[in-house]
């Protein structure tokens, strides 16, 4: 089972009646990976970047977790706390709902490739914050799903 399928399955308790998950991917605030790589400079620079992304998201009404699953439904954008994945492929389980915003408050979700992963820029209520996602994460699927869902709202 892919992590996206696992998230979709485990997000069910946090959905409203009739709501369905359109897509999901595991992510962290931009800079979190750099902060965890070790070394004083990486810790300071990465930590500062991640804190900035958390503040911007909070200004937009979302609280970020690390690691998290950004989950798009046909009604809302959810931030779900997930357990840390392991090398063996275990983990990545949904722990709880951290925050949410109505889909109508989301302005855009843009994905750009970056070396070994992706940078996802999410704009909510005019405030843009960045997330980082691994190579295998379906961030593009979430962005495409958002574009379709937004036209239906």
> pLDDT tens digits for 40-49?
665 656 567 7
Alpha-helical runs (H) found in the chain: 3-10, 32-36, 40-59, 139-152
- Mean pLDDT, range 105-133, rounded to an integer: 93
**50/61: higher pLDDT:** 61
> Could you tell me the pLDDT band of residue 112, with boundaries at 50, 70 and 90?
very high
Model pLDDT, residue 52? 82
Residue percentage of the chain with pLDDT more than 90: 63
> Could you tell me the pLDDT band of residue 152, with boundaries at 50, 70 and 90?
confident
Q: How far apart are CA 9 and CA 93, in angstroms?
A: 10
Model pLDDT, residue 45? 61
Structure tokens at 139: 């961030």
Structure tokens at 122: 């999410």
**With 80 as the cut, is the pLDDT of residue 118 above it?**
yes
Q: Which of 93, 90, 89 is nearest to 80 (CA)?
A: 93
- Mean pLDDT, range 90-106, rounded to an integer: 92
Structure tokens at 125: 């209520």
Model pLDDT, residue 32? 57
Model pLDDT, residue 150? 86
Find residue 133's DSSP bridge partners: 118
Helices (H) and strands (E) in the chain, counts: 4, 7
Query: Which domains does the chain carry?
Result: 3-12+19-152 (2.30.29.30)
**With 60 as the cut, is the pLDDT of residue 30 above it?**
yes
Structure tokens at 69: 């699953």
Helix (H, G, I), strand (E, B) or coil at 24: strand
**With 60 as the cut, is the pLDDT of residue 97 above it?**
yes
CB-based contact 77:98 (threshold 8 Å): no
Model pLDDT, residue 33? 63
Mean pLDDT in the chain?
Answer: 87
């Amino acid at each position: 089972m892919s992590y996206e399928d696992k998230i979709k399955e485990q997000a069910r308790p946090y959905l409203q009646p009739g709501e369905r998950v359109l897509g999901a991917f595991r992510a962290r605030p931009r800079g979190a990976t750099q902060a965890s790589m070790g070394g004083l400079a990486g810790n300071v620079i990465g930590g500062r970047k991640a804190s900035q992304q958390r503040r911007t998201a909070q200004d937009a009404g979302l609280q970020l977790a690390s690691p998290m699953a950004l989950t798009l439904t046909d009604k809302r954008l959810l931030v779900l706390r997930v357990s840390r994945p392991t090398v063996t492929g275990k983990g990545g389980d949904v722990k709880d709902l951290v925050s949410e915003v109505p889909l109508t408050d989301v302005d855009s979700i843009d994905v750009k490739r970056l070396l070994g992963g992706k940078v996802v820029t999410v704009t909510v209520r005019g405030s843009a914050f960045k997330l980082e996602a691994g190579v295998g994460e379906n961030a593009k699927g979430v962005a495409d799903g958002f574009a379709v869902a937004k036209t239906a709202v």
